[in-house]
Amino acid sequence: MQIDFSKIEPHIPYMLEGIGITLQFTSLSVFFGFILAVLLTLCKISNFKPLNWFAVFYTSIFRGTPLLVQLLLIYYATPQLFDYQIEPLAAGVLAFSLNSGAYLSETMRAGILAVDKGQWEAAKALGISYPRMMKDIIFPQAIRNILPAIMNEFITLLKDSSLVSMIGVAEILRRADVVKGQLFIYFEPLIFAALIYYILVMILTLLSTWLERRLRRNG
């Protein structure tokens, strides 16, 4: 058995560049996933039944099938259906946003239902309209309730972003794979990739602890 990390040394800058793409990809997915989750949540708590049904159906599809299958479907099926070659990064962001929107909307719904009923009544009694009540009174409190879960979703997405190496996005794992192919060694580039993911996740974990503490300080 031979392990020699010096072999990958020349390739380290190349692999580190993947961090930018991974972070960009993850942030975009979290951003769009969050917006989608808000919309789905509003559908789920709406009094209008068809909206409930739609949101529940949507969630069941995206939670009931593997993320990798969704990704491959979007990347390979889009050209076949729409005669349009979708960019790998765009396909990835699309699949991940649609998917995390489903997961986050469940978390968000629970967070909103956990807000004291009295808050809704106090807002209504003041004549505050539904959109304003949701935006300024209910959502801020719900987000505070579910912040740990949101950060968790962020972390999961970051790790799952390695899946987009499958469709050729040059993120961290993909680059490790390229190095692997050039040097014919497996252990070193993959361990290096794992280490990068681990450090990123640790940073996110610290960030979430800090955020939570900051939010708690205000009431």
Of the pair 51, 143, the CB lying nearest other proteins is at 143
Contacting residues toward other proteins, per CB under 8 A = 116, 118-119, 121-129, 132, 136-137, 140-141, 144, 218-219
Give CA–CA dist 175/13, Å, rounded.
10
User: What minimum distance in Å lies between the beta carbon of 47 and other proteins?
Assistant: 13
Distances (CA, A) of 190 to 5, 39, 129, 170, 199: 11, 38, 54, 15, 14
Tokens read off for 112: 């909103």
In terms of Cβ atoms closer than 10 Å to its own Cβ (0-12, 13-18, 19+), residue 60 is exposed
Of the pair 46, 60, the CB lying nearest other proteins is at 46
Q: Is 75 in contact with 10 (CB distance < 8 Å)?
A: no
User: What minimum distance in Å lies between the beta carbon of 118 and other proteins?
Assistant: 4
Cα Rg, the chain, nearest whole Å: 21
Give CA–CA dist 20/6, Å, rounded.
23
Of the pair 80, 218, the CB lying nearest other proteins is at 218
User: What minimum distance in Å lies between the beta carbon of 19 and other proteins?
Assistant: 35
User: What minimum distance in Å lies between the beta carbon of 13 and other proteins?
Assistant: 45
Of the pair 64, 118, the CB lying nearest other proteins is at 118
Which residue is listed with tokens 């959502």?
A: 139
Tokens read off for 87: 């960019």
Of the pair 110, 128, the CB lying nearest other proteins is at 128
Of the pair 3, 125, the CB lying nearest other proteins is at 125
Give CA–CA dist 87/93, Å, rounded.
10
User: What minimum distance in Å lies between the beta carbon of 142 and other proteins?
Assistant: 10
Q: Which of the 8 DSSP states describes residue 66?
A: -
